[in-house]
Amino acid sequence: MDQPTAVFKTLAPRTPEDDAPAAAPERTERTEPSGQEKAPEPESDRLKAAVAAWVATAEEPESEPRDAPEESEADDADDAEPDEAAEAAEADTESGPEDDEPEDESESASDEGESDDETGDDSDDDSDEESVEAKTAAESSAESWFSARKPAADAKASAEEPADAPSDDSDSGSDSGADSDSDDVDDEPVDQPTTMFKAVRLPVDQPTTALKLPSSLTGAGSGGGGGRSAGDADSERTSTFLPLRADIPAEQKAQAAAAAPKAPEAPKPAASAPVQPKAPSASAPAAAPSPVPAFAEAERTRQQPLPPLPPLDLLAELTNTPPPPPTPLRTTVRRVRIWTPLVLLVLIVFAIVQMVRPLPAPVLTLSAAPTFTFGGGELNLPFPTEGQGAVEVEGVGSMGTYGAQKPAPIASVTKTMTAYVILRDHPLKGSQKGPEIEIDQKAADQGKAEHESTARVQTGQTYSEKELLELLMIPSANNVARLLARWDAGSEAAFVEKMNAAAKDLGMTQSTYTDPSGLLDSTVSTPQDQLKLAKAVMQYDVFREIVNMPNVTVDGIPGRIENNNNILLKPGVSGIKTGSSTPAGGNLLWSANTVVDGQNRRILGIVMGAKDAEQLGQKLQLAIDNSYKLIQQAQKDVTSATVVRKGQVLGYVDDGLGGRIPVVATKELKAIGWPGLRVKLALTDGGKAVPHTGKAGDIVGQVSIGTGAGKVSSPVALQQDLAEPGFDKKLTRVG
């Protein structure tokens, strides 16, 4: 037959006072079926209290009115585990009728309720921490346990005490308005109780486990009235989210705690008698949930941010490892670890910069003897005992000087500068004769003068530039010099200015020109300045041709015009200009040639101030004779000597980083000189940049001796391959 349906008797609705946390639990005694006193287990105090209340209500006398049972929550009963229900049923069956003592259990439940109420009066802070879910779970567990225990208890009570057992046959899902039992037992048959089928509950998510606050935060303790019972402390509690608070100094915390308003204390419910169960009213309002305490606003940090920690201290803080105590060794190791990467980085950057820097330009450096001295003893030229003069080999150097070497009148030697300015401003090349120049009246009148050398020209005649230069240099016509000055510069004074400017350009620092002919004794110069002028003017082919002519014939002038320099017929003599006057004496600026190693070498010289004679003509001839003696000795002494041999190492290519590649002469080099002459060697690049790389035999420069027309040179080449500097040299270079 169908099993009778168990009917649960619900307790009175729970009030906020019941949910208040209990005070420190008083040790209550409970009468066990065996007659021994046993302390209730903390985790099941509330469950046992509910069980005792239900038993007392189920087995009370029929005369007491019953409240209508509350609809059983079948879903909550399903959550109870069947093993616990079966064990509870077996325990009740074995204990017998003597174990069921409703009155004792009711009293015990009442006592426990009072104890809980008292405990709740003493604990004010824990009332808001219990959740509705924890209470519902406790009631569901009690109801589930008794639903399994009720059929066995009802069967046993019917067999042993048929007259006293209550007949609760109503469905668990309906409300019974009054008790079905009466004072007298009715022997008439009754309908069997209707079996209630439980609806299958769909699987749902498991309830969230509430986190328990530690006892240090809830204030629970073993002593005093402020603690909670062991059962309440271990029951499930809802977790309360507390936001992290900023770290503030202790002084500010104390000030904030003192200034914050205190929360009002919850009223302590008075201890009350056990609540008799009664039927809930349909219109009765549900118990309001406990208000959730509002959290105070988090305190804001007013502390200034701390400076950043050193790397090791920050690492220690992140790893929760305190930094090791400082020692000299650890300090050294720490510095090495910090500075080693920086030093390595600097070295890498330095290496990269060194590699990309441009290489220095290679240069040729002379390693051979920089000078060479000709043999044969000392040079001994026959210099005059009066006046002053000098001798020089063009392109080689001076053979010697004599006299004071001071400015002195030079007479008609001045016409050399006049010819130089005309040819410089109106040059003639090859067979050119230049423009035609008309003779003016002043030139014709000056041609009739008796106390100076002139050319007999007529007004209106025209002569070419070359013809007038011949009349200027061969018969030394003063009127032609003045005519050329007016033709070139417009006036004699303007032309004189050009003469002085040209002297300055040639480096003639001790020369002064005041007229184009040299008649005035204010036109002065020195032997060295005149040799500078001679080297410049002898570069013009027309001028060399003119001054080397012993005589000349010019149209419009009768007869043959003879050259005053009568040594021009001597071998090797080729000019340049004579000049004589009373203040100046006899003067001769001359040029001679000598053949050395099959080449002509020009010798230049001057004799000034020859006065050891009675007449002016004799003074000029004395200057010519002294000049010829010097020419003869110079032609004899000028010679050549081998200074550089073919294949001789003369120097090296310096790459600027310590690399040196030797260079050698590609041919024999002879120098022009005279006994006792010391010449200098010069190793140059020949106007081309020295390369960074090259093969053996490549021409990289030249070696030379002398300057100008007397300069001789020979190419130089690499003795071995030339390569760029290596990585080590690039890396270690400085500057």
Count the neighbouring beta carbons within 10 Å of the beta carbon of residue 366: 17
Distance (Å, rounded) from C-alpha 691 to C-alpha 362? 7
H-only helix segments in 64-181:
74-79, 82-95, 102-122, 132-160
Which among 114-118, 446-450, 602-606 has the top mean pLDDT? 602-606
Q: What is the distance between the alpha carbons of residues 129 and 125, in angstroms, rounded to a whole number? A: 8
Cβ neighbours of residue 412 closer than 8 Å, sequence gap 6 or more: 453, 476, 478, 517, 518, 577, 578, 579, 580, 581, 587
Whole-number Cα distances in Å, 577 to 34, 206, 394, 415, 527:
167, 136, 18, 8, 13
Over residues 435-455, the mean pLDDT reads 92
Q: Which residue has 């349906």 as its token pair?
A: 5
Categorize the per-residue pLDDT at 32 as very low, low, confident or very high, splitting at 50, 70 and 90: very low
Q: Which of 233-247, 308-322, 543-557, 709-723 has the highest mean pLDDT?
A: 543-557
Q: What is the dihedral of CA 96, 98, 101, 102, to 10 degrees?
A: 50
**What is the C-alpha end-to-end distance of the chain, expressed in Å?**
117
Residue position matching structure tokens 């062991």 = 230
Collapsing DSSP states into helix, strand and coil, what is residue 249?
Answer: coil
Most confident of 172-176, 177-181, 257-261, 266-270: 257-261
Report in angstroms the alpha-carbon separations of 249 from 124, 305, 522. Answer: 30, 13, 108
24 DSSP 8-state letter: S
- Nearest Cα residue to 16 out of 378, 370, 319, 285: 285
> Does 523 score more than 80 pLDDT?
yes
Residue partners of 403: CB distance under 8 A and separation at least 6: 387, 388, 389, 527, 608, 609
pLDDT category of residue 144 using cuts at 50, 70 and 90? low
C-alpha 271: how far from its chain's center? 82
Peptide bond into 672 cis (omega under 30): no
pLDDT at 27: 43
Alpha-carbon separation of residue 368 from 183, 382, 706, 733 (angstroms): 153, 35, 17, 27
Mean pLDDT over each residue of the chain, to the nearest integer? 74
**If you average pLDDT over residues 718-723, what whole number do you get?**
89
Residue that has been written with the tokens 């960074």 in this structure: 692
Strand boundaries in 411-505, DSSP class E:
436-438, 462-464
Question: What tokens appear for 731 in the block?
Answer: 């890396």
Report the amino acid identity of residue 356: V
pTM to 2 decimal places: 0.52
pLDDT tens-digit map of 47-96: 778 777 777 765 554 444 444 334 434 344 344 444 444 344 444 444 44
Q: Render pLDDT for 183-233 as a digit per residue (tens, 0 to 9).
A: 444 455 556 666 556 656 666 555 555 555 555 555 544 444 444 444 444
What is the SS3 string spanning 93-106? HHHCHHHCCHHHHH
pLDDT at 281 over 50: no
